[in-house]
Structure 1
């Protein structure tokens, strides 16, 4: 059996799929090859497997035409991704299965992918509409994190008959091995809050409230009960601008303020596992943070009418700030109010992932092999 794993976006994908690829490669008579688009991807794959004491797998960079390289240089990553897939259909048609963790890989069949089974290994978690979700039915097999995610896609008619398999969240297997690799410590010894805004323009809080938030934290850092702050936006926020956004944000770093625009700690749960408080908007990293129930604050500078909207169900797990004047007072009171939300957080997390947090990588490999051998 020949299986291709494709990493067609930033290296955050590695932390969702690398352990499943390794589990498949350990099965006799199974050949796994990993294809990647971003040159940093192999570094992350090696880092993951080193922590887990797993052997490296064969890897190949996606060949790219001059046009594709030009799109990458211009940071037109969505267009580049589509063209990379189109240019490599012939190569991928050599396999029995192609496994991706991006909805956008669903276009492969329309581009001419005929021989392999197309498999989606979900990342993030259900609860918010994403523009490429309409491509989910193009996949022959969809591996899901839990019953809540399965119900979400079924309610929208996105799962073909019997195409979904619940396996859990493979990223937790990575976290279990890497959790002690990188401890975050500030000189003042205070706890830190994580600000994790999403990149989606219509929903992100970053464009309106990131600077006031940093200024607010800077003013309270030296108080006895003050928080330090880690600013770690969604990595796609820095797609465009040729590095201007990163450099401007980095200038905000100082005592008690850590700004991260691209380190592995943004991707491997270093911050979500250690933060005392989560501050965000619509990033699915809230699911990872709630593996250990802790206070959350959600920012709504755009006055989105979120109540009773199933896409914002996780905003019921902490206080929501609609007015900037309430921003820092809400953050200061979050720990005291956490008891109001903890039962809902625990229920929410269990519904999303079940009770067996570890072992999703092996369950995923087993589900894939059962499907391929039965096809």
Structure 2
């Protein structure tokens, strides 16, 4: 294949890097005819990528900081607005043969008149929430699926054509397995560890209605240790004062608080925890890579039974009230055997596992599509 330039694009938070970086590494190491670049909208994110690449032993990848600096200054140090960065960089991105992204905002490039690059969506999770199953998927030339559950829903609902969908497994697992394992939180006393992982979705998240009470329950409980690690986006724009409100919990000997640090993205907490407590985050599937107890919080009063967007709520008890949380945690541990088989079935439907690493399967799917276009 004649030399091609491909861009792995990161315009959001650092957790999305985990869903495609291993694909970039596999592509750069395996196909020397490809020029692989990684473009990010902040130096902090680019440094984060650089650090991961160094831990992986390096790869022939060029790192690019996207302009303009004034847009970064306007964002106050956080991630600049995604749409604005795409508008400003549309001409630059049009020069690639493929733009590979873990988020759907990049579909905007087509509306901006960018026609040449193949657009590839890698996903950034393998959950059930209906939000990611939406019309922008139709814009991409190639959409990855972690397993048959995701593929069948995207194709069945008409968001993706079968020929534009590649089932590749879950590349994040490759990256997690290849890197040194981060130390788990240490608590003053031993005991089962519960991970509370509320989502950022304003209506479906348990945090707005019940979150503080969840923390209070565990602060008063001497049986369990708690990791409070919400979805990274939940407190992304929180003020110093809002973050300071968690000080008493962060200083509690049986509670570990992380509102969005590196360990919140690299499966440190899902691997360390003994029970998952949450609502609609796709991280439950990463937690269930090995079957373990789950407990779900229905703070929104959702009519969830039979709804594919809540399929993961079959993996453990579901609470419709916060009043019985303490006893419900005990019950979730005691009754886990009742949910083990459906958890195993859910994982098999969610992650397609073969002898070939997922990152290589994804890289090959992109390369083969580029060859056909050529």
Which residue pairs with 2:320 in the alignment? 322
- C-alpha distance in structure 1 between counterparts of 2:335 and 2:186, whole Å: 25
The Cα offsets for residues 227-253 of structure 1, whole Å up to 9 and x where unpaired, read as 100000111112334343322234421
Matched, 1:237 2:234: yes
- C-alpha distance in structure 1 between counterparts of 2:180 and 2:247, whole Å: 25
Which residue pairs with 2:218 in the alignment? 217
Q: TM-score, normalised by structure 1?
A: 0.93
TM-superposed CA distance for 1:352, in Å, is 0.7
8 A Cα contact 1:230 1:257, kept in partner: yes
| Structure 2 SS opposite 1:60 | strand
- C-alpha distance in structure 2 between counterparts of 1:246 and 1:358, whole Å: 43
Which residue pairs with 1:6 in the alignment? 9
- C-alpha distance in structure 1 between counterparts of 2:106 and 2:309, whole Å: 23
| Structure 2 SS opposite 1:83 | helix
Which residue pairs with 1:333 in the alignment? 331
Match among 298, 314, 334 for residue 300 of structure 1: 298
- C-alpha distance in structure 2 between counterparts of 1:60 and 1:124, whole Å: 25
Matched, 1:165 2:166: yes
Task: Classify 1:351/1:197 alpha carbon distance in 2 versus 1 (closer, same or farther; 3 Å).
Answer: same
TM-superposed CA distance for 1:177, in Å, is 2.2
Matched, 1:38 2:20: no
Query: Runs of 5+ in structure 1 lacking a partner?
Result: none
8 A Cα contact 1:136 1:158, kept in partner: yes
Task: Classify 1:157/1:262 alpha carbon distance in 2 versus 1 (closer, same or farther; 3 Å).
Answer: same
Q: TM-score, normalised by structure 2?
A: 0.93
8 A Cα contact 2:53 2:59, kept in partner: yes
Match among 18, 21, 25 for residue 18 of structure 1: 21
TM-superposed CA distance for 1:131, in Å, is 6.2
Deviating more after overlay: 343-352 vs 128-137: 128-137
Structure 1 segments of 4+ aligned residues over 4 angstroms from their partners: none
Which residue pairs with 1:53 in the alignment? 57
Query: Runs of 5+ in structure 2 lacking a partner?
Result: none
TM-superposed CA distance for 1:155, in Å, is 1.7
TM-superposed CA distance for 1:358, in Å, is 6.7
| Structure 2 SS opposite 1:236 | coil
- C-alpha distance in structure 2 between counterparts of 1:346 and 1:189, whole Å: 28
TM-superposed CA distance for 1:186, in Å, is 1.5
The Cα offsets for residues 273-310 of structure 1, whole Å up to 9 and x where unpaired, read as 11000000000000100001000000012211111111
Task: Classify 1:357/1:245 alpha carbon distance in 2 versus 1 (closer, same or farther; 3 Å).
Answer: farther
Which residue pairs with 2:199 in the alignment? 198
The Cα offsets for residues 84-135 of structure 1, whole Å up to 9 and x where unpaired, read as 0011011111111111110111111111212111111112114211167320
Which residue pairs with 1:343 in the alignment? 341
Match among 264, 277, 288 for residue 290 of structure 1: 288
| Structure 2 SS opposite 1:184 | coil
